[in-house]
Amino acid sequence: MGRRRILDGRHLFHRPGRRAPGRVRPFRRHLRRPRALYHHAGREPARPVRRRRGAREGQRSAARDACPWQVPRSERPVPDQHRRTAPSARGRGAVRGRSQGRYLVPGRDLPRHPRVAVRRARVRVGLSLAREPARPPPARREPHQTGVIHTLRRLASGLLVLAFVSAVTGADTVGELLPSTPGQVRVVALGDSVTSGSNCDCAAFPQLYGDLLHNRSAVPVTVDNQGVAGLDSTGLLQQLSQRDVERSTKAANVVLLTIGANDFGDHHDDVTSGQCSGDCVSDEYEQLTANLGRILSRIHALRGDRPTTILMTGYWNVFKDGAVAEQQYTPSGRIASDQLTVRTNNAIAAAASADDATYVDIYTPFEDSADITALLASDGDHPNAAGHALIARLLLAATPNPLPTSPRQGG
């Protein structure tokens, strides 16, 4: 249609050479253009006119036969206007039952012409070429959101706040950011296979101790057992630098410590056979003594000035005992094993006394029992359910009641 473009029932008259389109004019052009008639074949075509049928000079013809620019606006026809039935084509957003009107209006029924199909142009929001106010999309409102989306948004906001606070304060978990329940007791157990409950299908003594402490104090008690089978004092010192163990120790106001027997594992055969005197384990003994002091210093450094109860247990035997030891060890080997156990317990007691900890004697109750084999597992090296229960009772008896609440004094 030349330079004229149909746009949503109106045409745009574009003038080349300008930065923006020209003014917008209403679409009043009849959709069927008449054929041009020429006054002279050899001259330039004149203004096209429509042939009038049955019209006399001075008499105006019917509106449907007249030129559109000679008919008043109110009498100009619109295609399909004379039909009684509703037009078949409907525009986007058209409302049923609404009359079409004389001109093409956005949102109303669009007529279908046999030769020309009028199609609505898709214009972006905020751009109105037909001098009509732009209608921005309705803003999303909070009540219209589903419950799942609302919950996810609140959860994401909370995680962002938690990450920011954690980055500022250096805390690792939510438990370090939120205050604990008043009166709550946290217990962490550090040590070797005795602490972890190896070779015993039962609850280890740290959990039994937590239950007994809860029954006595009537406060919530949580227990975190960090015992590892085969761990020696050097390994425990390295374990205290791990993130999970460090976090558990920071949060615990009661620390259970059982370590030292595995430091002499390399000399097991020499000691139990009776071929090793005390000098063959002197290096390991000195290393154990030094590591015990470093372990306690590390625990106090993690806890800071907060009140902490540290309970260090000894051993009934650093190697096997009971009926199993009688079958596998020589008499001199059993004596050497017992002597090494006493030396180890003395080192643990000295370290506890020097660094504000409590030593819990296990050697005497086990040896004074009617049958020590009844307290040991089938391997003779670890306690069974009865042995773990005895250790838990000994730990509870050594625990101050109530637990200390004042800051730790000294270094």
CA distance 162 to 256: 31
Classify domain 181-398 at the CATH class level: alpha beta
**pLDDT for the residue numbered 127:** 44
Given a cut of 80, whether residue 198 has pLDDT beyond it is yes
At 391, the amino acid letter reads I
First to last CA, the chain: 96
Indicate if the pLDDT at residue 185 is higher than 50. yes
What pLDDT score was predicted for residue 217?
92
Report, in this order, helix, strand and coil percent for the chain, each rounded to 5. 40, 10, 50
Q: How far apart are CA 369 and CA 288, in angstroms?
A: 28
**Top-confidence residue, 380 or 43:** 380
Q: Is the per-residue pLDDT at 146 higher than 60? A: no
pLDDT in tens, 200-259: 989 999 999 999 999 999 999 999 999 999 999 999 999 999 999 999 999 999 999 999
Tell whether the model's pLDDT for residue 63 goes beyond 80. no
Under the banding of pLDDT at 50, 70 and 90, the label for residue 155 is confident
| Whole-angstrom distance, CA of residue 59 vs CA of residue 61 | 6
Domain borders along the chain are 1-46+59-134, 146-178, 181-398
> What is the pLDDT, as a whole number, of residue 190?
98
